[in-house]
Structures are given as C-alpha cells and as structure tokens.
Amino acid sequence: MAERLQGIFTPNLVPMTSAGEINEGELRRYVDWLIERGVHGLYPNGSTGEFTRYTVEERRRIVEIIADQTAGRVPILAGAAEANVKETLRACEYYHSLGCRAVAIVAPFYYKLSPDSVYAYFREIGNNTPIDVTLYNIPMFASPIDVPTIQRLSEECDKIVAIKDSSGDIPNMIRMMQAVRPNRPDFSFMTGWDAALMPMILVGADGGTNASSGVVPELTRKLYDLTKSLQIDEARAIQYDLVKLFDAMLYSAEFPDGFRAAVDLRGFNMGRGRQPQSDHQRTGLEYLSATLQCMLASHGFTDEPVGGCPVGEAPSVDAGEVSRIVQSVLSEMKQRGMA
C-alpha cells in the first residue's frame, strides 16, 4: 500500500512566458527550488495553479513537466478535475501513467450541487479510478463536500484516501476526522488554509497543501516541524508571521496574483497570469510587491527594497488598496467636477 499523504504539499503556481504560454524552463527551476527547500510534495493544477484558466492539454502538460522534473524525489498530487466524470477519469488515468502519487478532485463547481449529487459524482469516480483520489473541499469556490458525504465515500471507496479542506474551519475538520478515522485509519486530512495550519495539525490533521509554501517553503516547513514536535511557542510565532504574509498575498490582489508577485521576489520570472488586469490593479500590485519585499526581507529571504522598509512592525495596511482608493477618489472627483 502506498504511503499515507502527510506533510506540506505545495500547490504549484505556473510561470508564464511573455507570450502567455507555460514557461517550462522556469517551472522546472521552480520545482527544484521547492524540493530543495524541503516541501514534502507537489500539487499541480490546484486553485493556486489556476487550473480553470488552462486548456485540457495545458493542464496535462503542466503535470508532465512537474512529474518529469521531480523524478520521484517527492510525491505528486495532481489536480484532475475536468468537465465531467468521463473526462475526469481520463485525467486520472493519464496522471496515474505519469507516476503521480494521487489526484485531487474538486467537487463540481459553477452549479451548486446538493450533497446527494456530490456523493454520486465522487462515487462514480471512486469506483473507476486507477489512482488514489483526494477529495478537494473548497466551499468558497465549489459545491461543498459535507461530513456525511465524506464519511459515506470513505466507507464505500477504498481508492478515496484523503480530503483536502480549504475552508479553514477547524471544528468541521474535527467532525470529518471523527466521522472517518474509526473505519479508515489510513485516510488523510490536509488543510489548504495556511492561516490555520498550526492549529489544524494540533487537532489532528496530517498536513497541508498551502500556497504560502510556494513562496516561503522554508517557513512553512519549519512551522510544520515545530508543530509536530509540540514546540508550541516557537510554532505560534511563525504561524502569526504566516498569517500576515498570507493575508497580504491573499487579500491585496486578485488571487493568486499576490502569490505570483511574491515568488517573483524569490527570484523567479512568473510573468503575468491569464486573468487580465486593470491599470488600477497593476499599480496596486506594485505597491503590494514593495510590502511583500519588506516582509520577506524581515525573514532574510530577500533584500529590502530600495528606500528601505518601515521600522518596527511590518505595515498592516493594504498597499494595493490604498492605490486603488486614491485613483478611485480622483476619478470620482473628476467626474463630479470637483477636481
């Protein structure tokens, strides 16, 4: 039996060329860099990896590159959700053939499905997949996978071996573990909500698929190790820093552009994501980048920006927001003949 999923899996961002295509060279370099910094696994085609913005062929190409470059050094969890059950199963087969450890499949999105439908969907996949499946629960974006559904699927489908939960809801994670573990001690519980990583592990989760591990793999890995060894005070301090960094990347720009900007600062050429940006957003990202650089510099991951950083606490203000606000005020005042 394959090893149980645990530790920190990095949901891969995809570097783009100036022509808007996958930047294979930079992606390979990024994979090496992540593995060298200690992440336990890689997770292409997740939400962070903007899977919905690629074509079927591109999603396959991303996993091909990552699997080839990883060459077995760490396990790969490949996002495999496609347009329908048949297409998703085809992806499962392909990622299995590439040697991936498991796939992660988000519940159907766009339509908000009932628990019955979510069950029927995963049941059909679970019964036909050649590769282990991780359920992916992200109620903010997709149909939620509720606790009774997880329990039922875990009992009926051996191939369903884990859940990745991105809700950040700790009591609900406890409910999942209570419902599933008595019958499936091998089932794995991963959190996708970086701001709750330490407490999630302390209540019993097995690890995380955390976007911030693509930016500061050293820090996320250290947080995981300190928490597992119950060095609570040290872990808490890092968790606090991670909340600040995570919030800045998550809330100051359209997801995942803040994360892309931060990986740029670590020395990669991420290029522009596929979602077009307004002028305001581009200005906002420049401000955000300066803020992030100060945060990363305070941990020694980058130099300070030219002009230096504020002393004391890193600024909690959303720099991008300020820029957007200023421009919006000016344009409103102009419209009203006030400026």
Q: Which of residues 50-109 bind a second copy (CB under 8 A)?
A: 52-56, 83-87, 108-109
**Edge-to-edge strand ranges of the sheet holding 77-79:** 41-43, 7-11, 207-209, 188-191, 160-165, 133-137, 102-106, 77-79
Options 276, 300, 307, 308; binder of a second copy; rule CB under 8 A: 276
Q: Residue 198, interface with a second copy (CB under 8 A)? A: yes
Q: Residue 20, interface with a second copy (CB under 8 A)? A: yes
Q: How far is the CB of 322 from a second copy (least distance, A)?
A: 5
The amino acid sitting at 211 is A
Q: Residue 110, interface with a second copy (CB under 8 A)? A: yes
**CA 163 distance to own-chain centroid:** 14
Which DSSP state fits 104?
E
Q: Residue 211, interface with a second copy (CB under 8 A)? A: no
Q: Residue 244, interface with a second copy (CB under 8 A)? A: yes
Q: Residue 155, interface with a second copy (CB under 8 A)? A: no
Options 128, 269, 277, 302; binder of a second copy; rule CB under 8 A: 277
Rounded distance, CA 225 to CA 192, Å? 17
SS3 174: helix
φ, ψ dihedrals at 191, nearest 5°? -105, 140
| Binding track over 291-310 against a second copy, x by CB under 8 A | -------------------x
Rounded distance, CA 197 to CA 28, Å? 27
In 3D space, the residue among 118, 162, 183, 123 whose CA is nearest the CA of residue 144 turns out to be 118
Task: Give the residue with the Cβ less far from a second copy, 69 or 277.
Answer: 277
- Using CB under 8 A as the binding criterion, the count of chain residues that bind a second copy stands at 83
Q: Residue 175, interface with a second copy (CB under 8 A)? A: yes
Q: Residue 324, interface with a second copy (CB under 8 A)? A: yes
Q: Residue 170, interface with a second copy (CB under 8 A)? A: yes
